[in-house]
Structure 1
Amino acid sequence: MTLTVTDLSIARGGVPVLEGLSFTLDAGRALILRGPNGIGKTTLLRTVAGLQPAISGRIKGAEDRIAYAGHSDGIKPTLTVAENLTFWARVFGAGSIQPALDAYDLGDLTDRHAGNLSAGQKRRLGLSRLLVTGRPIWVLDEPTVSLDKSAVAMFADAVRAHLAKGGSALIATHIELGLEGETLDVGPFKATPPPIEDFDGGFL
């Protein structure tokens, strides 16, 4: 099923950031979001994932189909690597966690508490959660932060495998991942700032 975004307008902190944005994301495809820092990519991803409401527009095909990975790794530091993945697998009714461990080379870390992992290892664990959700649409905000070159390759391989199985991915990133897919520059959809009728009042 296709994810369809139509004439979407979104705000951050009550201030419009993007408006009139439309795109489609078909099964088996990736869509890479581009644009300068602060343009609204994170706000867009959070809106598509259902974490905040839009000002206007329509999002179709997202219902209970999205797995979101944001700036936080979303792991519990007092649990081991295996316990973290097992927790999420049970939440989503998934099976074995072994494919997730293998995809991000976490096999030797299964008994280590997440709080004792390096920043890169934590990121790998956070991304591996996607593989136990069973959700077909991955919505990812700067997923390669804290990853070294080899881990970035692991991530890219995981996304390719997901797409090959009919999944899709919406990714905001500043780096080249070597993925086949379309690119959407959100810059042209920057919202027009609301007028300040009372100039002095704008600073009160």
Structure 2
Amino acid sequence: MSLKVTDLACARGGLPLLEGVSFALVPGQALVLRGPNGCGKTTALRTIAGLQPAMAGQIDSPPDTIAYAGHADGLKATLSVTENLTFWAAIYGTNGIDHALDRMNLRQLADRAAQNLSAGQKRRLGLARLMVTGRPVWVLDEPTVSLDAASVALFADVVRAHLAAGGMALMATHIELGLPEARVLDLGPYKARLPDPSSGFDEAFL
């Protein structure tokens, strides 16, 4: 089992952002995407996760292996922490949420409604959702937003355990997670060429 991306090209709003992106992940590996804001990190992750079509290239992974976590936490506001995790475990057909509650330090918040959590607590709950999906490939867009230093370290431990169990992680983040084993891919060299100005394209609309 692996995730292989070959000559990927992707766009936002119909405008090309990236082209020629290639990499492979095998069990136990993590890859961090880096690059300036607007370079296409989120677009690349959404394309790889199957949330939007690629312009070109190939994404090879077995069916139902990817779990995606974006900027939204994917929470039901009126449900408690326990009910949210139970809901997602049922969606993905997995059993048990205790490990997620414990590893993301949510046990004391188990009965609190998601709408009453702080931003950092909501983010921890959103990330705990990954742990009940049972899926080996985690695709994460800025996963540590709203987390304090202690929670970032907690999340890094969760990712490390996921990799040790044969999982994979593809992340876009500017935060140092303390995962020296993670490879880094700079998306800067893969910036797509802009349309020819003679075509009437105005770069101001990017």
Contact 1:94-1:134 within 8 A present in 2 as well: yes
Q: Mapping of 1:14-29 within 5 angstroms?
A: 14-29=14-29
**SS of 2:139's equivalent?**
strand
Structure 1: segments with no counterpart, 5+ residues = none
Shift of 1:196: 2.8
Aligned residue in 1 for 2:141: 141
Aligned residue in 2 for 1:190: 191
User: What TM-score do you get using the length of structure 2 for normalisation?
Assistant: 0.96
Cα distance per residue 1:109-146 (max 9 Å; x no partner): 11100000000000000000000000000000000000
How far apart in 2 are the matches of 1:91 and 1:20?
35
Aligned residue in 2 for 1:57: 57
User: What TM-score do you get using the length of structure 1 for normalisation?
Assistant: 0.97
How far apart in 2 are the matches of 1:138 and 1:23?
15
Contact 1:49-1:62 within 8 A present in 2 as well: no
Question: What amino acid is the match of 1:117?
Answer: L
Cα distance per residue 1:72-120 (max 9 Å; x no partner): 0110110000000000001111111000000111001111000000000
How far apart in 1 are the matches of 2:101 and 2:23?
33
Cα distance per residue 1:44-64 (max 9 Å; x no partner): 000000000000000001521
Cα distance per residue 1:5-24 (max 9 Å; x no partner): 00110000000000011000
**SS of 2:51's equivalent?**
coil
Tell me if 1:164 matches 2:167.
no
How far apart in 2 are the matches of 1:89 and 1:16?
36
Superposed CA RMSD in Å reads: 1.3
Q: Which runs of 4+ in 1 moved over 2 A?
A: 196-199, 201-204
Judged with a 3 Å threshold, the aligned counterparts in structure 2 of structure 1 residues 62 and 172 are, in CA distance, closer, same or farther, namely: farther
How far apart in 1 are the matches of 2:31 and 2:107?
30
Task: Answer with 178-187 or 120-129: which moved more.
Answer: 178-187
**SS of 2:198's equivalent?**
coil
Q: Mapping of 1:94-113 within 5 angstroms?
A: 94-113=94-113
Shift of 1:35: 0.4
Contact 1:48-1:62 within 8 A present in 2 as well: no
Judged with a 3 Å threshold, the aligned counterparts in structure 2 of structure 1 residues 195 and 134 are, in CA distance, closer, same or farther, namely: same
How far apart in 2 are the matches of 1:106 and 1:198?
55
Shift of 1:195: 1.0
**SS of 2:43's equivalent?**
helix
Shift of 1:198: 4.6
How far apart in 1 are the matches of 2:3 and 2:62?
6
Aligned residue in 2 for 1:125: 125
Question: What amino acid is the match of 2:188?
Answer: G
How far apart in 2 are the matches of 1:42 and 1:198?
28
- The percentage of counterpart residues that share the same residue type is 65
Equivalenced residue count is: 203
